[in-house]
Amino acid sequence: MGEVSGVVVLVVGIVVLAVAIQGAIGFGQSLIAMPLITLVSGIQTATPLMALVGATSTVLILLVNRHQINLHESWRLIVGALLGLPPGVFLLVHINERIVTALLGVLLIAFSLYNLVHFQMPNMQQRALAFPFGFAAGLLGGGL
């Protein structure tokens, strides 16, 4: 068997750290791992890797908490996200890496400022908004 490169060890360490933080506080896996892995291996490697890690952890969480899922309320969000994934992957493959990396940076800064200010999002009562928000989640999940 060949030697494991330093980059692989570093990426695995970053993923383990991010998953541990996600498990401890409930969020932050991609927020921590994406910028660090992007610095080490580029956005084209970081995005599918974190999509795989995120999907795996999400499936495990869903399996454990499946009795608490309200499909009647969440199906619109799920369908929107599934429809947003292919365009997100398309954009990742066809847009310049520098643009995607800059967009990722802007989103991370915006999210950090949002959490710093403790701005409270209004409670959405309009079910029709679940489709566009799901689509945006899928687009970002597939492209970033």
Residues 127, 31 contacting (CB under 8 angstroms):
no
Please tell me whether residues 83 and 53 are part of one structural domain: no
Domain enclosing residue 30, as ranges: 1-69
Predicted local confidence at residue 70, as pLDDT: 84
Domain stops at, among 69, 103, 123: 69
Mean pLDDT of all residues in 91-116: 84
Domain stops at, among 23, 40, 69: 69
Please tell me whether residues 88 and 108 are part of one structural domain: yes
Please tell me whether residues 53 and 86 are part of one structural domain: no
Mean pLDDT of all residues in 54-66: 84
How far apart, in whole angstroms, are the C-alpha atoms of residue 25 and residue 30? 13
Residues 59, 117 contacting (CB under 8 angstroms):
no
Q: Which tens digit of pLDDT belongs to each residue from 15-46?
A: 999 988 887 887 778 888 988 999 998 888 88
Please tell me whether residues 76 and 139 are part of one structural domain: yes
Please tell me whether residues 74 and 13 are part of one structural domain: no
Total domains, the chain: 2
Residues in the chain: 144
Please tell me whether residues 108 and 53 are part of one structural domain: no
Q: pLDDT exceeding 70 applies to what percent of the chain?
A: 94
Predicted local confidence at residue 13, as pLDDT: 93
Predicted local confidence at residue 17, as pLDDT: 92
Mean pLDDT of all residues in 60-65: 85
pLDDT grade, residue 83 (50/70/90)? very high
Domain stops at, among 32, 51, 69: 69
For 17-37, the DSSP string reads HHHHHHHHHS--HHHHHHHHH
Predicted local confidence at residue 144, as pLDDT: 60
Please tell me whether residues 92 and 131 are part of one structural domain: yes
Please tell me whether residues 144 and 82 are part of one structural domain: yes
